[in-house]
């Protein structure tokens, strides 16, 4: 049996007479793909036949829904730093990928999605399961194309991988007609090393770095807000050097979490709608705001006309389109964060801002007394979501990868999980996709089997892709699943309570027997309703060598605070 390395050499050094479908599989292997996620169908069946022949070298994971395939590929990409791959047939198979593709686009996740298409002579005829997936996916892909000739397959796939992983990463879709899949041609694979007019990494200007350093060196109240660009650029060490050398308090966006340990003394917490009180409040008191690899999303800024107007704004980013898009910058530093932050470290003076840092500590004390203490050390009878996260921290020592869905539990997970290892917070940030966590956790665990992967999910989002329990069972993926069950669509209910006079329109959930469903998929399961059961149940779950489902019944009408109401300023952050 040939190794994958031998096959790669054969693919690049030797011309083979093969079908387009075999060319697809060989192209994927040449790009180092060892796992892909998908669901077969008529228009992609020739490719699946070839995958069967190469199953000892490339592992196909049959998800239970194409959306699950896209999210699993996202989880794989987010924890590994590699390109995730998803595959589907034409028509509904392709359209079912769209939510995952859109999620990957806004969260800068590198994906290559391959879809089958009807025979080229049928295009435009409304043939069975024909859909214009290129037209549909154009707004939510970094690049896409349709291939109608077998000889064009290798170049299309090579370009797809190059675009997906280079610069600011993102999803790419390649749609391949069935006749292109079955036609033979002379195959030779060459990796793509550049695309005309596409400059994925702008050159970092030393003058811009010097201008940024001058502002920082003279600042009295500097503040850093970093995002996922630090993780994507593998610049965690450089970020830490910048923060420590200049003594700057540093906050993070949801997708930036885990780039710096949550226990670091200069880590001041999360910004945003449900972020920590101090970094939100003091955004409007800093004199220099340094944004690194983040895009000034509306959930971070609140009202733009009242966001950091007193501060000089420095923006480090790889994507020129993000500069001045939402917030006007005084100094823009383009380039890969690893390179630009390394240049910044050299230009910074050693400094400390103890009195400024104390302001953050003082506001944290207020938040602890009014919010955190009740979340983590409750006196009421019902369980809180926060104490579940606290128990998970104890058992995992902050080294687990936390994959959260979307809702109240997501905000609690981001606020209270301990992150000691980078690439540990995997969640749907920009699109806010319910149903993300279960399949994403599968991809994360398969990419990093040595890591503990814990999915934190609400009872609403869990039921959107609950069928992926079948994938967990079939793949024997040791994912730990925690459903925080409050019998509500909790985040919507919170808004209804605060802003709609408690009119809980269509948010109360009548849920099934979650434990019985998990056991139906042969997954060990347990339900916790009392505080005295929690610690032992979480310990049993984490120590399990196999997948495990834990349902925790929490307070039905608990809210997540702090909170910046929609349309309000970051200064208007509420503690109750």
Of 412, 380, 374, residue with least CA distance to 393: 412
CA dist., res. 422 & res. 440, Å (int): 17
- Helix/strand/coil (H, E, C) string of 494-506? HHHHHHCCCCCCC
CA dist., res. 257 & res. 254, Å (int): 6
385 given a catalytic annotation: no
Phi-psi region of 226 (alpha: psi -120 to 50; beta: other; left: phi over 0): beta
- Round to the nearest angstrom and report the end-to-end CA distance of the chain: 64
Q: Which residues does 80 contact at the CB level (< 8 Å), separation at least 6? A: 423, 447, 448
546 given a catalytic annotation: no
Q: Which of 66, 236, 322, 359 is catalytic?
A: 66
CA dist., res. 243 & res. 237, Å (int): 10
CA dist., res. 311 & res. 89, Å (int): 51
491 given a catalytic annotation: yes
Q: Which residues does 265 contact at the CB level (< 8 Å), separation at least 6? A: none
Residue 241: exposed, middle, or buried by beta-carbon count in 10 A (0-12, 13-18, 19+)? middle
CA dist., res. 409 & res. 392, Å (int): 14
Q: Across the strands, what pairs with 267?
A: 250
178 given a catalytic annotation: yes
**Cα-to-chain-centroid distance, residue 450:** 20
Burial 44-79 (b: 16+ CB within 10 A, else e): bebbbebbeebeebbebbebbbbbbbbbbbbbbbbb
Q: Which of 52, 128, 499, 500 is catalytic?
A: 128
509 given a catalytic annotation: no
H/E stretch holding 174 reads strand 171-177
Tell me the pairing of strands 524-528 and 548-553: parallel
Q: Which of 142, 159, 178, 240 is catalytic?
A: 178
Q: Which of 4, 129, 467, 474 is catalytic?
A: 129
DSSP 370: I
CA dist., res. 13 & res. 6, Å (int): 10
CA dist., res. 66 & res. 46, Å (int): 18
Q: Across the strands, what pairs with 116?
A: 176
Tell me the pairing of strands 59-62 and 111-117: unpaired
Of 411, 401, 484, residue with least CA distance to 440: 401
Crossing angle of helices 437-447 and 66-80, rounded to 10°: 50
CA dist., res. 77 & res. 73, Å (int): 6
Q: Which residues does 441 contact at the CB level (< 8 Å), separation at least 6? A: 75, 403, 426, 453, 454, 455, 479, 481
Q: Across the strands, what pairs with 553?
A: 485
Q: Is 225 helix (H, G, I), strand (E, B) or coil?
A: strand
DSSP 372: I
CA dist., res. 544 & res. 534, Å (int): 16
Catalytic residue positions, numbered: 66, 128-129, 178, 491
């Amino acid at each position: 049996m040939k190794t994958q390395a031998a096959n790669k050499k054969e693919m690049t050094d030797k011309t083979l007479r093969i079908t387009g479908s075999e060319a697809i599989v060989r192209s994927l292997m040449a790009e180092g793909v060892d796992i892909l996620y998908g669901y077969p169908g008529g228009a992609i069946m020739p490719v699946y036949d070839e995958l069967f022949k190469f199953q000892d070298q490339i592992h196909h994971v049959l998800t239970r829904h194409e959306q699950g395939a896209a999210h699993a590929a996202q989880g794989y990409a987010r924890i590994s730093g590699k390109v995730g791959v998803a595959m589907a047939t034409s028509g509904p198979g392709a359209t079912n990928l769209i939510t995952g593709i859109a999620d990957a686009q806004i969260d800068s996740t590198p994906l290559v999605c391959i879809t089958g298409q009807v025979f080229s002579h049928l295009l435009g005829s409304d043939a069975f399961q024909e859909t214009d997936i290129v037209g549909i996916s154009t707004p939510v892909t970094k690049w896409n194309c349709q291939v109608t000739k077998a000889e064009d397959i290798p170049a299309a796939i090579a370009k797809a991988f190059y675009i997906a992983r280079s610069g600011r990463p993102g999803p790419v879709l390649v749609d391949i007609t069935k006749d292109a899949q079955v036609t033979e041609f002379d195959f030779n694979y060459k990796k793509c090393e550049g695309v005309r007019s596409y400059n994925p990494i702008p050159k970092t200007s030393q003058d811009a770095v010097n201008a940024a350093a001058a502002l920082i060196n003279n600042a009295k109240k500097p503040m850093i807000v970093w995002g996922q660009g630090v993780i994507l650029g593998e610049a965690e060490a450089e970020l830490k050097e910048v923060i420590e050398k200049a003594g700057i308090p540093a906050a993070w966006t949801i997708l930036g979490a885990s780039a710096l340990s949550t226990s670091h003394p200069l880590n001041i917490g999360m910004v945003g709608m449900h972020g920590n009180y101090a970094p939100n409040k003091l955004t409007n008191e800093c004199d220099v705001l340094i944004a690194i690899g983040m895009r000034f999303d509306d959930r971070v800024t609140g009202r733009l006309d009242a966001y950091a107007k007193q501060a000089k704004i420095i923006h480090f980013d790889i994507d020129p389109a993000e500069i001045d898009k939402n917030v006007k910058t005084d100094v823009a530093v383009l380039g890969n964060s690893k390179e630009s932050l390394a240049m910044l470290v050299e230009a910074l003076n050693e400094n400390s801002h103890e009195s400024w840092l104390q302001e953050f500590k003082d506001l944290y004390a207020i938040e602890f007394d009014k919010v955190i203490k009740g979340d983590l050390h409750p006196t009421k009878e019902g369980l809180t979501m926060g104490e579940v996260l606290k128990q998970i921290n104890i058992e995992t020592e902050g080294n687990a990868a936390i994959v959260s869905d979307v809702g109240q539990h997501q905000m609690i997970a981001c606020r209270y999980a301990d992150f000691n290892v980078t690439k540990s917070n995997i969640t749907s940030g920009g699109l806010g996709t319910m149903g993300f966590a279960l399949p994403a956790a599968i991809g994360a665990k398969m990419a990093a089997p040595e890591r503990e992967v814990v999915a934190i999910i609400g009872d609403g989002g869990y039921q959107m892709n609950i069928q992926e329990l079948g994938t967990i069972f079939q793949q024997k993926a040791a994912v730990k699943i925690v459903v925080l069950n409050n019998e509500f669509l909790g985040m919507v209910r919170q808004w209804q309570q605060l802003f709609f006079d408690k009119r809980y329109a269509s948010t109360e959930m009548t849920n099934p027997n979650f434990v019985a469903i998990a056991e139906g998929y042969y997954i060990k399961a347990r339900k916790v309703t009392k505080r005295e059961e929690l610690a032992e149940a979480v310990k049993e779950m984490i120590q399990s060598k196999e997948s495990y489902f834990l349902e925790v019944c929490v307070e039905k009408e608990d809210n997540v605070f702090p909170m910046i109401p929609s349309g309000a300023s970051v200064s208007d952050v509420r503690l109750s």
